[in-house]
Structure 1
Amino acid sequence: MGFEQEAVDELWSKVWSHKSAMQRDLTRGAHGEVFVLRQLMEYGQLTPSQLASALRVSSGRISTLLSALEKKGFITRENDPDDRRVVRVRLTDAGREAVQCDVDAVRDAVCWIFSQMGERRTREFVDLTREFMTYMSICRPGKPRPTPEEVKAAFEQAEP
């Protein structure tokens, strides 16, 4: 077994298959609510079907999520004035505040982690993660591997 397979095994067994305490805390009890709120924060108003597609869940599941978020005061659902059959989902001020609070808490926690790693290792980690994600963006399981030209183009496009 080469270093590549050992690295994949290590990632699968020690990294990707175990949720960190931070990941568990962020998702505890939310059951998709955080994802819906972040989608609305990023894209503005969306329809329930757009949210269901983004989350890859059924319309019934989205309806349940939206009801819970509406009860918490984080979203509103309104009929589109141009087409009464279309429902638009929007964040409320409380919803925006909840998303921002979540983002700030995660940022603070990750900054602490980086402070523990130190500047040199943090910069190396970020550089390596950027490189890894660039390769991930062009490599598809079961498909031919990217050509050297495609790799070069991906890295040129990814330049900061």
Structure 2
Amino acid sequence: MGYEQEAVDALFGCMRGNRSKMQSEMVRGAHGEPFVLHELLRRGTLTPSQMAASMGATSGRVSTVLAALEKKGLITRDVDPDDRRVVCVSLTDAGRERARADMAEMRDAMCWIFAQMGERRTREFVDLVEEFTTYMTICHPGKPRPTPEEVREAFAERRDARAGRV
């Protein structure tokens, strides 16, 4: 077995069997209330179909999550005055506060982890995750592997995006 297969096996093992409480919350949140609150805080008012596209979820799943958030007073669903067929989903003040608190808690937990790892290892980790993610954006199961030119383009886009953030 080559190092590539060992790495895949180790990564799958981490993702499946050794899931921490924090990982479980992050995964659960990606399809539930925390994700919706964060997305509305980040992007502003959205329609349920926009939310479904962001979540990669069905309209039924989104409807269930929105109903729960509305019941808790964290969002409102209002009819668009310009097009009565469209529903607009917005955060309430309580929803904005909850989204910010959830994000701050996640950020604090991750900062603690990075402090345990140290600066050098944290920077290496972030660089490796960015590299891995770049490859994942261009390599799709069941399709031909990217050409060297596609790889160069993807990493050039990554560099340009990174330069824009700094």
Q: Same fold (TM over 0.5)?
A: yes
The residue type paired with residue 76 of structure 1 is: T
Does the CA-based 8 Å contact 2:75-2:89 persist in structure 1?
yes
Is the Cα contact below 8 Å between 2:31 and 2:57 reproduced in 1?
no
> By how many angstroms is 1:62 displaced?
2.4
Counterpart of 1:121, as a letter, is: R
Cα separation, partners in 2 of 1:27 and 1:141, compared to 1, 3 Å: closer
The verdict on how the C-alpha distance between 1:127 and 1:28 changes in structure 2, with shifts beyond 3 A counting, is closer
| 8 Å contact kept, 2:79–2:86 | yes
Segments of structure 1 that go 5 or more residues without pairing to the other structure are none
How far apart, CA to CA, are the structure 1 residues paired with 2:135 and 2:28?
31
Shift in alpha-carbon separation, 1:79–1:155, aligned structure 2, 3 A: same
Distance (Å, rounded) in 1 between the aligned partners of 2:54 and 2:25: 22
User: Is contact 2:134-2:155 (8 Å) kept?
Assistant: yes
Q: How far off its partner does 1:26 sit?
A: 5.3
Which structure 2 segments of 5+ residues have no match?
A: none
State how far apart, in whole Å, the 1-side matches of 2:37 and 2:85 are.
23
Note if 1:106 corresponds to 2:106.
Answer: yes
Counting only pairs closer than 5 Å after superposition, residues 3-82 of structure 1 correspond to structure 2 as 3-13=3-13, 15-18=14-17, 19-25=19-25, 32-82=32-82
Q: How many residues align?
A: 159
Question: How far apart are residue 31 of structure 1 and its match?
Answer: 6.4
- Identity, % of aligned pairs? 64
The CA RMSD measured in Å over matched residues stands at: 2.0
Aligned to 1:127: 127
Partner SS for 2:156: helix
Could you give the per-residue CA deviations for residues 130-154 of structure 1, whole angstroms, max 9, x where no partner exists? 1111111111111111111111111
**Structure 1 pair 65–112 and aligned structure 2 pair: CA distance change class (3 A):** same
CA contact (8 A) 1:134 1:158 kept: yes
Contact 1:27–1:34 (Cα < 8 Å) also in 2: no
CA distance in 1, matches of 2:30, 2:147: 41
Mark the CA change 1:30 to 1:131 in structure 2 (over 3 Å): closer, same or farther. Answer: closer
Note closer, same or farther for the CA distance 1:117–1:52 as it changes in structure 2 (3 Å cut).
same
Task: Say which SS state the counterpart of residue 78 (structure 1) adopts.
Answer: strand
